[in-house]
């Protein structure tokens, strides 16, 4: 298991980057032309700055970019670098740069990840995104995505060590230059900014907006100063991101919900990280061990929780919520096998409109390798639940459990055949969708007693499949019915759950 890993835990709009440098190709001289016919080609005109510049270039900010230390529950786990400015030699373009560096101890493993993005836009007001480059290194695998954006679509070349380049085409994005730094643009205009951002993980385009809040006084280096305040909300992440900006344009602090913060620091200080053990830092310690019936099928357990916002109180076939007089909530978790009368043959329509059957650059359920593996596993099996059990059991018994062999794409997981809960869940969902079974990943916590003997809930990922009714399955623990020790709070690796990390408490086990 692991803390959900996403570069999009940082939904700063200055996240993606690209290089759009034009190189002149030297050519051999043309044959000499008689003077009477010779025509001199007009000299190449250098790019000209637009008559009016985007507000993203007018906003005040530090020259050369800025570093921020990244803190999870007040422990430093990484740093961020951001910069926005004109492209050198191209006054008609603006470039945003964002880097995320993460480093932490996860169990016995040291996890490190670098996610660097550049984006290039037209420099005029409302200038469109024209190109980007995304680099990922470390945990999750190494790859570079080089994208070219036009009004009709986005073409992305995926480069990975030792493998042939791949080209992926995705729908056109509506992201504009002002979306590269919405907080500063909103403060400059003193009004709300609505826009879109192309996500650096799944390449989907999502609405994002920033509102201006009342300015505040903050204590900076022992001196009270008045700072501008904005709140940014992405339709994908759904985590309020509060940014505090000094009058000179410096970002002083960024709050990602209540759990994660980024603080302005010098480069040397930002790169000096704590050695944090993430499992121990983020687990939810229980007052006592869970009863044996919680791990049976059918099974049930009741937990009294605090610091669980009401938006997470979503009753389902597995989870029921009951508010308590003291403000806590009684959560009843139950697990059972699907009702035989409800089971249906595959392929099945998605009851949620189709998203749970879609392929993507992450799920890759339409790839040849995934489709062939799915066909090999389920063959002529028509019963969707029987087919789903074959897939989950194969993933559980085939993949080696290895945290240090992470991958962010289903085909990579299939090829390397090892990983932790996110790799198990991603491959299972990909194979299920390729088999005509709607499926999605579930993020939450699961019960474990580790070597220290402390009963706790640890962050985990498993799957949910529609086989005539929804049923949850755990390919990491080889459970064709995920037992009642699984408490789900989010779907598809969404950063919406991050405010719960380090905050969720269990005060009673019933």
Tens-place pLDDT, residues 353-408: 999 999 998 999 999 999 999 999 999 999 999 999 999 999 999 999 876 567 88
Could you tell me which residues come within 8 angstroms of residue 27 by beta carbon, excluding any fewer than 6 positions away? none
Q: What is the CA angle 324-327-332, rounded to 5?
A: 45
| Overall average pLDDT of the 298-320 stretch | 95
Interval 288-315 mean pLDDT:
95
222 backbone dihedrals φ, ψ, rounded to 5°:
80, 0
- What integer best gives the mean pLDDT of the chain? 88
Number of helices (H), then strands (E), in the chain: 8, 25
CATH hierarchy code of domain 340-509:
3.10.620.30
Contact of 129 with 121, CB cutoff 8 Å: yes
44, pLDDT greater than 70? no
pLDDT at 408: 81
Rounded distance, CA 459 to CA 125, Å?
A: 43
Q: Read off φ and ψ for residue 292, nearest 5 degrees.
A: -60, -30
- Taking 60 as the threshold, does the pLDDT of residue 41 lie above it? no
Q: Which long-range contacts (CB under 8 A, 24 or more apart) does 79-87 make?
A: 79/265, 79/270, 79/271, 79/273, 80/10, 80/12, 80/262, 80/270, 81/270, 82/12, 82/14, 82/251, 83/14, 84/14, 84/56, 84/57, 84/180, 84/181, 85/57, 86/57, 86/123, 87/20, 87/21, 87/120
What CA–CA distance (Å, rounded) separates 330 from 317?
16
The pLDDT assigned to 275 comes to 80
Distance CA 214, CA 361 (A): 40
pLDDT digits 0-9 by tens, 102-148: 988 776 677 888 999 999 999 999 999 999 999 999 877 789 999 99
In this prediction, residue 33 carries a pLDDT of 36
pLDDT at 231 over 50: yes
- Delimit the domains of the chain by residue range: 7-18+50-270, 340-509
- Distance in angstroms (rounded) separating the CA atoms of residues 16 and 173: 13
**pLDDT exceeds 90 at position 25:** no
Eight-class DSSP state of 327? S
CA distance 497 to 493: 9
Of 487, 402, 477, residue with least CA distance to 443: 487
Residue 105 to residue 108: CA distance in whole angstroms: 7
Most confident of 30-39, 129-138, 218-227, 251-260: 129-138
Do 7-18+50-270 and 340-509 fold alike per CATH? no
What is the residue whose two structure tokens read 């695998």?
141
Q: Residue 20's pLDDT is what?
A: 22
Q: Which CATH class is domain 7-18+50-270?
A: mainly beta
């Amino acid at each position: 298991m692991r803390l959900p890993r996403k570069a999009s835990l940082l939904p700063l709009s200055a996240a993606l980057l690209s290089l759009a440098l034009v190189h002149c190709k030297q050519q051999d001289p043309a044959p000499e032309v008689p003077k009477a016919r010779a025509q001199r080609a007009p000299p190449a005109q250098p790019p000209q700055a637009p008559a009016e510049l985007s507000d993203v270039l007018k906003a005040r900010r530090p020259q050369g970019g800025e570093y921020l230390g990244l803190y999870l529950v007040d422990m430093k786990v990484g740093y961020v670098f951001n910069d926005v400015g004109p492209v050198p030699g191209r006054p008609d373009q603006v470039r945003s740069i964002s880097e995320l560096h993460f480093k932490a101890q996860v169990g016995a493993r040291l996890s490190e990840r670098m996610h660097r993005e550049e984006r290039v836009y037209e420099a005029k007001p409302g200038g469109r995104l024209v190109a980007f480059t995304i680099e990922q290194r470390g945990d999750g695998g190494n790859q570079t995505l080089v994208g070219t954006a036009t009004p009709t679509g986005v073409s992305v070349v995926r480069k990975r060590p030792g493998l042939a380049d791949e080209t992926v085409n995705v729908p056109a994005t509506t992201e504009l230059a002002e979306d590269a730094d919405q907080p500063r643009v909103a403060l400059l205009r003193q009004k709300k900014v609505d826009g879109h951002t192309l996500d650096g993980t799944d390449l989907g385009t999502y609405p994002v907006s920033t509102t201006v809040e009342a300015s505040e006084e903050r204590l900076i280096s022992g001196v009270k100063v008045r700072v501008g305040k904005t709140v940014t909300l992405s339709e994908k992440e759904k985590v309020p991101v509060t940014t505090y900006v000094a009058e000179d344009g410096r970002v002083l602090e960024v709050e990602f919900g209540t759990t994660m913060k980024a603080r302005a620091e010098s480069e040397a200080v930002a790169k000096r990280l704590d050695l944090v053990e993430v499992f121990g830092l983020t687990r939810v310690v229980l007052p006592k061990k869970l009863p044996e019936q919680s791990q049976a099928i059918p099974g049930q357990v009741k937990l009294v929780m605090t610091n669980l916002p009401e938006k997470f109180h979503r009753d389902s076939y597995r989870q029921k919520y009951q508010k308590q007089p003291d403000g806590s909530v009684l959560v009843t978790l139950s697990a059972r096998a699907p009702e035989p009368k409800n089971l249906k043959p595959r392929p099945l329509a998605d009851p949620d409109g189709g998203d749970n059957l879609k392929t993507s650059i992450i799920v890759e359920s339409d790839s040849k390798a995934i489709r062939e593996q799915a066909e090999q596993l389920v063959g002529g099996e028509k019963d969707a639940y029987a087919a789903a059990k074959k897939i989950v059991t194969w993933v559980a018994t085939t993949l080696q459990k290895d945290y240090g062999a992470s991958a962010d794409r289903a085909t990579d997981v299939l090829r390397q055949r090892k990983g932790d809960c996110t790799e198990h869940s991603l491959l299972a969902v990909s194979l299920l969708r390729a088999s005509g079974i709607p499926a999605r990943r579930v993020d939450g916590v699961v019960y474990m007693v580790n070597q220290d003997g402390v009963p706790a809930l640890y962050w985990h990922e498993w799957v949910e499949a529609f086989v005539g009714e929804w049923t949850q399955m755990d390919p990491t623990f080889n459970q064709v019915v995920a037992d009642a020790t699984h408490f789900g709070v989010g779907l598809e690796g969404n950063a919406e759950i991050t405010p719960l990390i380090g905050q969720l408490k269990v005060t009673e086990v019933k």
